[in-house]
Chains A and B, each alone.
Chain A
């Protein structure tokens, strides 16, 4: 492992200045992804700036919604009574990720910025455009079970691994960022980017930009919401596919819906077309399948030495239908 310096500044401004000043510097959150990458040689920073002590680590009421400090641990966020009550999809997404120990360590700011679990990205002996731009993509034609069916490019077919981010996408969260040029707020849906011809960039954040908080808007539809994750083991495994969904039903008609998919794209995938197909419709299995079909019409599965990932299309269709069926049965 390449040697690095370590700093734990007292305030966010100093941390941002320290990272911005060095191209090879990185923020250190809970370290559950970054420390693994240091050990694998996936990234070789010369300076780590620990932000866990300086980021806000409380959850406060905010105009009917919630402001979550970027230092809040995933486990603490999932246990918050307001999250469990008003945003169950977020609590359930957090709880379905990683393990009890990892959720105690992982932070609100670090989780959405965790990098892909693509096997080849993590194996420095193989070509990977994300890790080493221009080197090629070993996943294409390799083992693609974990890879994308939506929004991929010829340069990268990786998926985003976070469960939490899928819920935040469905909830229309906002991200507060402090950078060398000051503060800015962006919609969570704008944070992650599709790979295109620059898969080395997972997000729109510039070097030195620090996530300081995530804000959940007041969202009555989220009271009836859930997260469902399908994986190779019952627990402690990343999603093959997952669904975050919220449903509002008035007089036997779907009046509002929020849907996002995990495990299928380079970003958490907000399913606007599925939402549109649901609004105004009667909740039924036909409606739910039609919604999945509307979103997955453009899906492009990958062949692979492991059998590829075409299974994700029917699997995601059924996972969405099952999640919506259960939500529709719930008391509002």
Chain B
């Protein structure tokens, strides 16, 4: 039986009716025409479907759409410096271009959303497994960035550029804190 739900996606509200089997990824791409999140594996193994749901980075392929009724979803397309969908670049978009952080671009929307979620987690003092002292606030060095972004694979191997882009936006944020 289909279920009615409301999703806010990149600032715009949508009502849709879905089969419970529909993933959030398929709902976004096939029902709402938002092809920003990509289907790399459909099994939680690559990160290319990463979106922000209520501000938190998650995998849209392992999320059933029906479980997110009433949620605010932000894809790399709607990510901007202002409110979702308000247009204009997010600093991560700029940094990915400036640091040459992609080749084919397939993983990029997932990388960008993951980086946005990750930088928020970092700003809240959340540790990672490579954080030496779990009692102290972590430092955003290269090892921390690599570990925190490890859920996003890039088959073009653009990792050095990706880490540089994330580091740059991380530093800019530190500066404004």
Contact = CB atoms under 8 A, between A and B. Distances in A.
Interface in A79-95: 79, 84-85, 88, 91-92, 95
A1 B152 CA distance: 26
A19 B21 CA distance: 18
Given A4-B21, A5-B1, A6-B3, A32 B62 contact: yes
A39 B42 contact: yes
Contact of B59 (A75, A95, A102, A236): A102
B58 interface: yes
A163 B135 CA distance: 21
Contacts of B57: 100-101, 104
Contacts of B95: none
B43 interface: yes
B88 interface: no
Interface in B142-160: 146-152
A52 B129 CA distance: 26
Contacts of B129: 92, 95-96, 235
A92 B134 contact: yes
B128 to A, nearest CB: 6
A6 B63 contact: no
| Interface size range of chain B in the complex | 35 or more
Interface string A42-62: 000000101010000000000
A121 to B, nearest CB: 14
A31 interface: yes
Interface string B107-140: 0000000100110010011111101001100000
A101 B117 contact: yes
A100 B117 contact: yes
Contacts of A99: 47, 150-152
Contacts of B92: none
A36 B62 contact: yes
B150 A236 contact: yes
Contacts of B131: 95
Contacts of A92: 129, 134
B66 interface: yes
Contacts of B19: 3
Interface string B1-27: 101000000000000000111010000
B67 interface: yes
Given A36-B62, A52-B67, A75-B126, A235 B20 contact: no
A10 interface: no
Given A31-B67, A84-B127, A101 B59 contact: yes
Contacts of B59: 32, 101-102, 105
Interface of A: 1, 3-6, 8, 28, 31-32, 35-36, 38-40, 48, 50, 52, 75, 78-79, 84-85, 88, 91-92, 95-96, 98-102, 104-105, 234-236
Given A35-B62, A35-B64, 20 more contacts: A1-B21, A3-B21, A6-B67, A8-B67, A28-B64, A31-B62, A39-B43, A84-B127, A85-B134, A91-B134, A98-B151, A100-B57, A100-B149, A101-B57, A101-B58, A102-B59, A102-B151, A104-B117, A105-B63, A234-B147
A78 B129 CA distance: 10
B85 interface: no
Q: Which of A50, A79, A99 has the most CB of B within 10 A?
A: A99
A32 B43 CA distance: 9
A35 to B, nearest CB: 5
Contact of B20 (A5, A85, A98, A101): A5
Nearest to A88: B134
Contacts of A35: 23, 62-64
21 contacts: A3-B21, A6-B20, A6-B66, A31-B62, A31-B64, A35-B64, A36-B43, A75-B121, A78-B126, A78-B127, A88-B134, A95-B131, A99-B47, A100-B57, A101-B50, A101-B114, A104-B56, A104-B58, A234-B147, A235-B129, A235-B146
A95 B128 contact: yes
A131 B111 CA distance: 35
B44 interface: yes
Contacts of B117: 100-101, 104
A235 B114 CA distance: 16
Contacts of A100: 57, 114, 117-118, 121, 148-151
Contacts of B21: 1, 3-4, 38
Of all A-B residue pairs in the complex, the 10 with the closest CB atoms, nearest first, are A99-B151, A235-B150, A6-B20, A95-B129, A84-B134, A236-B150, A79-B126, A96-B129, A35-B62, A101-B59
